[in-house]
Structure 1
Amino acid sequence: MASKSGEDQLLLAIHRLGESGRTGSHYRAVEQAFAKLVGGERSEDLRMPGQRQPDILISRADLPPTVIELKVFGQGFFKNNIGNRASELLATAVEMRRLFRGEILLTAVLILKLTPATSPIHESTWPRLADRLLRADDGVGYDSVLFGFADSQLSWRYFAPRGGRQEMKESPRTTSEAIAMIRQEAVSPDTSRPTARRPIRRFLLVSDEWRSGRGGISTINRHLAIALAAAGHEATVLVPRVTEEDARVASAANVSIVAPPRIPGLSEKETLLLRPIFGEKGWEPDVIIGHGRALGPYAAAQQRQFFPGARRVHLVHTDAESLEAAKEEHGGTSTMTITESRRNLEIDLARSADLVAGIGPLLTETIRDDLLGPGAPATVMEFMPGLRDLFDASTTRAPVKNRVLFIGRADDFHSKGIDLAAEALLKIMDEWPRGRSHPPVLVIRGVPDDAADDVKRKLDSIFDGRVSYTLRPYTDSETVLTHDLAQAKVLIMPSRHEGFGLAAFEAISAGVPVLISAESGVAQFLSESHLDTSPRSVISTRDSPTRLAVDRWADAIQAVLDDFDSARSEVTSLRTSVGRLVSWNSVTERLVATLQGLP
């Protein structure tokens, strides 16, 4: 029971607040007094992680916890802001259910400071407001609502769903009775309230482009959408701008592609914060998919602002700590601050999602570890992309020229290991037989226009005119990339860190000999699947006590150039083995099954 002294402390703390309710230490005193009355704890005392924390948490053995959202308002302030307050409370309810993975009972406690000078609020306000706040069929809202009225003493009104209707229980006569109702609801929740979610049929995938002009995220997103559509789901891709060609290609794969309205002054990416314009009236997604730090915030915004009943999947494409460490050069400046910021953003997006998926085993392990700690555990799955049907290099004649192909962000010169590849090619060239034709040429696809001069300067410094190279810009044309692969003797991925390594996976798909950094997700997948049957295909970028990494890479590249037919035969066999283990159909089935199994 609530003691009189406890109730007096709460009443005193309420009357010390300002009109709007939020006044620092005085508000904390209200939370502390109410937490003491209900036998709960403030989130600040629990030191829970996350962006938005519950005001008060009541923990119970073998039962879902009760989360209390506590608000105190002056009567005049509340009367003029009822609509805004309700919207804020519903948004908070969505956040709390996502923070606790839905395994909570959620109560809103709204206390009004009554003042004689303000006209009273009509009695019909409370059932109407309760009806708006209580949990609806889409799962959004509160399990119960308690209104408090603070004058010289406290009085209460309590609402909870019963039999599918929002009903007011008998008004508590005392604070003790009000507290008992909250605690009884936690022990005996109403089983008649709807808990079933809509079946999973409609997917909204958020991207900044349909084609792959900006890298691997777009490629993963596009092929996931196509795979979902092929499996019979409704797949819609949200992009800032839709071209006629994009719409034609997407439609051919039974994928819808939509864009938000254009607003003067907003960048293309900022328009992803607006509600999309769907072709079918009333269309709403069951699942929203976002990618990494770059696009995850926009997927979260779509869910929170427009589709709170949808599940959200957060796909992890990078490991901020390992990636930034790979960019740091010995004796150079530290990237500690930006690394911590990027890592925290990824973690916050993952924690607030319904399902987290790491691209490949390395990123899956990383995000699982990063999410360890207090609070409800996140559901994390490994997302292993399938091989693509590009072309079969084994059916074409072997290229004559010894082109060594690199595909990736060339402005990340050090982390992508371009310096390592250049040093390896220099070593090969220095030992190239004088009478042997077609010396190796380095082809780099993925040089930003504004970085071309810097990349050229760095390569010139290493090669000193002894090795030929070609710089090629980004392209979103699959035809162009296919030609690059077809004309290459070998694709190299010498990254000092690569969360997955889609370029290497594309080369395997095409049957093009490939040399893969051991510090990559693809290499870990091959190793764990016992598919690294050709040890020379996976090479470390780290020096060892007995051998330099440059020497290992030089020997591996030289081996492919010396015996291209064997290298092509080995990668063709590898492609067959990988294809037996992964496919876009299988990863799509796992994704949908995991979503359906969520609470």
Structure 2
Amino acid sequence: MTGDTEWSLRLPGEGKYLCRRTDLGVVTPYPLHVTYRSANWSDNFKQDQGWIPVGPLFSIQCEDVEGPVDILLPHVLCLNQDTVPNPDALGIVHVTGETEELLTVSEISPTHLTTRFRKGSKFGPVVRTVLGMSLRRNGLCVVFAPANFTSVFQLHVYIISNVVLMVETLEGKVGYSSWDPEQCVLKLGEEYQLEVTAKNGADVDVQTRPEEGLEFDDTFDTGQYYKKFRVEVDARKYRRAQRSRLRFDLHLKNADQTVCRFIPTKVRKRAPRDFQRGVGLPVTIETLGTTAAKRSVLLVSTEYGTSKGGISTINRQVARKLSIAGAKTARNIREERFPHAKLAMFGHVAPEETEHYKSDEKALGVGRKEASIQDDIGKADVVFSVGPRIYRHYDRFLRQRGVDHYIFLPEPSKIFSEASVIFGESEDVKKAERVVLSIGRVRNVEMLKGHDLAAGSIDKAAQRLDNQYTLRLRVRGIDKNDFTDSKRILEEKLRSGRVKASLLPYGTQEEIRRDMEACHLVLMPSRAEPFGLVGLEAIAAGVPVLISEHSGLAELIEELSDRLGQPTFRHCIVKMKGDTATDADVEKWAERIEDVLKNARSEFAEALAFREKLLASKYWEESHQKFLQACGITDGGSAQAEGGGAEADDSD
């Protein structure tokens, strides 16, 4: 990146400051004058010492340093709870003249590494080479285009590290204007292909070179030439009136899947750039109509992944629909920096329903948690509650506060709705296998999520079936640190020894879909479940499923059953007494499990019919349109949400 521009900040007093042009941060207890510029790694660091850069290198000078000052250096590593490296595997390179030293990282966040400032010159984040080659990077897919579409022209598409200054650097080199970049997750050394379709009323594939694809490499230096995709467009194929309406649908793919897909906006006169990275990246969504207004929506949440829970999965789906998510952080950002912005918040949990199934300590904190949530949502302009159960829980409070309140219904991810599920068992097989799948963390939430019910009822069903089948219980969503305790909890209920539990780690959408394709029954036996995304995903996949009546999903199914005139929808709901002191609910679940496993062939046929009718109903569309309208988007028909993943633990 360029080192020609020097920035100067005069910090007025104690505080934490972030430069929105470079993403460099400073924490100081007193007024401070900071000057800095970017520098090239290749000129200052030998990358053969077991460490590789994971962010830009800065030359930083601080005047009148009187005490401890911390600097926050942006990095591009894609980190979550499962991938945060050991602090020993990360470092800050500090270069003074010809001398290099490695500074300790005091704090790791999804976007920055923090260290104590020292007198010298250059600072940059690094990771051990072996680990750095395996960790994925936060990247950008950036399209550059000429200001006007001539008869024949090219789009230049780069896949780069998500570094604020890199787009400006490329703009200076390419000579074209860049369109709004799309975030993606990339892996060092991995090959990517680009497929592009010109959309002008009749979709036409256009040629992209190099056809064999490009290998991703970190982009932190100015002097290096970075390879690009060249999209060859012959506008002579279109009538002159069509050329002005050309849009391009871009699919960036690796060997396994689409990494990102987006339709960039038409080139326009550009205002000065004001990017922010990471979970707070402002995302601009533009509908494709000729008079579409432009809206900016700030997404604020701790994660948007799909492998660890329904909450983060719905965050991701909401993000694809234009979301504002997150509680106090979003509220504070609005109050302190964007007082005229509209604040929309999402309700995912109801502590009063769930906490007493966790521990006495959690139960004692119910009042505090409920008050905290009410304090947040009561100051919002609009609140979306996920499912009917959460909507009902907060509706009276929000009506009293005059806050607009709507229900938000998740749409099943295509990964599940396009799953290939068949019964696929021959008539003459002897002692057939039956696999029962449960998804979600066990330790500390076994009562809430009903894992004790699942294990106990499967054990009873196995005794009743008396070795007719080889029964297997698979539990997806186990943290490696909880494996021993989780195994013990389940084995205490599997007393007969007829069923062994296979404990599997947190999984991606694809892994969970494969789990569902391989099983005969999915269980969601929660004693209290705000919604129940796992059950919805199983239904969308066409797998037989049994779900607790004490869930938002059960209420949605009952409502859809009445509305669509489909009484068989209710077949998957298990009525529960909620008495944890007896085995009454275990008996109920055992009876239902036995019935499904004995009649698996017909159950799969019913599950397939259920799936088709549910998806055809498009029950989610009205709630998604209300959400888009709340964000100021009046036509959201072209926006397609994606969801999926393991159910929320609701364990905080």
Query: Under a length normalisation based on structure 2, what TM-score does the superposition of the two structures give?
Result: 0.47
- For residues 10-25 of structure 1, what are the structure 2 equivalents within 5 Å? none
Equivalent position of 2:375 in the other structure: 348
The yes-or-no answer on 1:379 pairing with 2:414 is no
Selected match of 1:321 from 339, 342, 352: 352
Equivalent position of 2:448 in the other structure: 415
CA distance in 1, matches of 2:586, 2:387: 27
Equivalent position of 1:364 in the other structure: 391
CA distance in 1, matches of 2:627, 2:549: 27
Equivalent position of 1:426 in the other structure: 459
Shift of 1:460: 2.0
Residue identity opposite 1:577 in structure 2: K
- For residues 553-564 of structure 1, what are the structure 2 equivalents within 5 Å? 553-564=589-600
Residue identity opposite 1:379 in structure 2: D
Deviations 1:105-161 (A, max 9, x none): xxxxxxxxxxxxxxxxxxxxxxxxxxxxxxxxxxxxxxxxxxxxxxxxxxxxxxxxx
CA distance in 2, matches of 1:255, 1:484: 35
Specify every segment of 5 or more residues in structure 2 that has no aligned partner in the other structure, as ranges. Answer: 1-11, 14-76, 84-178, 193-251, 266-273, 286-292, 302-310, 313-324, 427-431, 635-652
The yes-or-no answer on 1:492 pairing with 2:519 is no
CA distance in 2, matches of 1:548, 1:585: 39
Shift of 1:569: 1.7
Residue identity opposite 1:339 in structure 2: V
Shift of 1:306: 3.9
Residue identity opposite 2:342 in structure 1: R
Deviations 1:529-568 (A, max 9, x none): 2255254410133258999111110011111111112211
- Determine what percentage of the aligned residue pairs are the same residue: 23
CA distance in 2, matches of 1:279, 1:371: 29
* Maintained 8 Å contact 1:287/1:313: no
SS at the partner of 1:469?
strand
The yes-or-no answer on 1:251 pairing with 2:260 is yes
The yes-or-no answer on 1:540 pairing with 2:575 is yes
Deviations 1:167-208 (A, max 9, x none): xxxxxxxxxxxxxxxxxxxxxxxxxxxxxxxxxxxxxxxxx9
SS at the partner of 2:501?
strand
Residue identity opposite 2:513 in structure 1: T
Selected match of 1:457 from 488, 491, 505: 488
CA distance in 2, matches of 1:255, 1:212: 32
CA distance in 1, matches of 2:551, 2:398: 21
Equivalent position of 2:506 in the other structure: 474
CA distance in 2, matches of 1:236, 1:339: 42
Residue identity opposite 1:380 in structure 2: H
Which of these two proteins has the greater Rg computed from alpha carbons? 1
CA distance in 1, matches of 2:451, 2:332: 37
Looking at secondary structure, tell me which structure has more helix per residue: 1
What's the C-alpha RMSD, in Å, of the aligned pairs? 4.1
Residue 344 and residue 369 in structure 1: after superposition, are their counterparts in 2 closer, same or farther (change >3 A)? same
Residue 548 and residue 339 in structure 1: after superposition, are their counterparts in 2 closer, same or farther (change >3 A)? same
CA distance in 1, matches of 2:519, 2:409: 26
- For residues 259-274 of structure 1, what are the structure 2 equivalents within 5 Å? 260=276
Q: Which is further off, 582-591 or 392-401?
A: 392-401
Shift of 1:478: 2.0
The yes-or-no answer on 1:510 pairing with 2:537 is no
Equivalent position of 1:388 in the other structure: 413
Shift of 1:236: 9.2
CA distance in 2, matches of 1:337, 1:317: 20
* Maintained 8 Å contact 1:387/1:584: no
* Maintained 8 Å contact 1:319/1:363: yes
Looking at secondary structure, tell me which structure has more strand per residue: 2
The yes-or-no answer on 1:287 pairing with 2:297 is yes
Deviations 1:365-392 (A, max 9, x none): 112134354xx41111010112332234
Deviations 1:328-374 (A, max 9, x none): 5xxxx35343222221222122112221011111111112134354x
- For residues 393-408 of structure 1, what are the structure 2 equivalents within 5 Å? 393-395=420-422, 397-398=424-425, 401-408=433-440
The yes-or-no answer on 1:575 pairing with 2:602 is no
Shift of 1:237: 9.0
CA distance in 2, matches of 1:398, 1:368: 48
SS at the partner of 2:528?
coil
SS at the partner of 2:587?
helix
Residue 351 and residue 560 in structure 1: after superposition, are their counterparts in 2 closer, same or farther (change >3 A)? same
SS at the partner of 1:311?
coil
Residue 577 and residue 255 in structure 1: after superposition, are their counterparts in 2 closer, same or farther (change >3 A)? farther
Deviations 1:383-410 (A, max 9, x none): 0112332234445725952110001222
SS at the partner of 1:515?
strand
Residue 537 and residue 237 in structure 1: after superposition, are their counterparts in 2 closer, same or farther (change >3 A)? farther
Deviations 1:311-335 (A, max 9, x none): 222111111110112325xxxx353
* Maintained 8 Å contact 1:443/1:469: yes
Equivalent position of 2:601 in the other structure: 565
Equivalent position of 2:133 in the other structure: none
SS at the partner of 2:493?
helix
Shift of 1:310: 2.7
Shift of 1:586: 4.3
The yes-or-no answer on 1:297 pairing with 2:328 is yes
- Between the two proteins, the alignment pairs up a number of residues equal to 350
Shift of 1:593: 2.6
* Maintained 8 Å contact 1:288/1:313: no
* Maintained 8 Å contact 2:348/2:385: yes
Residue identity opposite 1:502 in structure 2: L
Residue 213 and residue 574 in structure 1: after superposition, are their counterparts in 2 closer, same or farther (change >3 A)? farther
CA distance in 2, matches of 1:573, 1:403: 21
CA distance in 1, matches of 2:382, 2:337: 19
CA distance in 2, matches of 1:586, 1:415: 31
Q: Which is further off, 514-523 or 457-466?
A: 457-466
* Maintained 8 Å contact 1:495/1:541: no
* Maintained 8 Å contact 2:398/2:405: no
Residue identity opposite 2:574 in structure 1: I
Residue identity opposite 1:578 in structure 2: L
Residue 433 and residue 495 in structure 1: after superposition, are their counterparts in 2 closer, same or farther (change >3 A)? same
CA distance in 2, matches of 1:285, 1:307: 14
SS at the partner of 1:497?
coil
CA distance in 2, matches of 1:447, 1:417: 15
* Maintained 8 Å contact 2:419/2:513: no
Equivalent position of 1:41 in the other structure: none
* Maintained 8 Å contact 2:574/2:589: yes
* Maintained 8 Å contact 2:326/2:346: no
Shift of 1:295: 3.5
CA distance in 1, matches of 2:450, 2:275: 37
Deviations 1:190-233 (A, max 9, x none): xxxxxxxxxxxxxxxxxx9899989xxxxxxxxxxxxxxxxxxx
* Maintained 8 Å contact 2:326/2:345: no
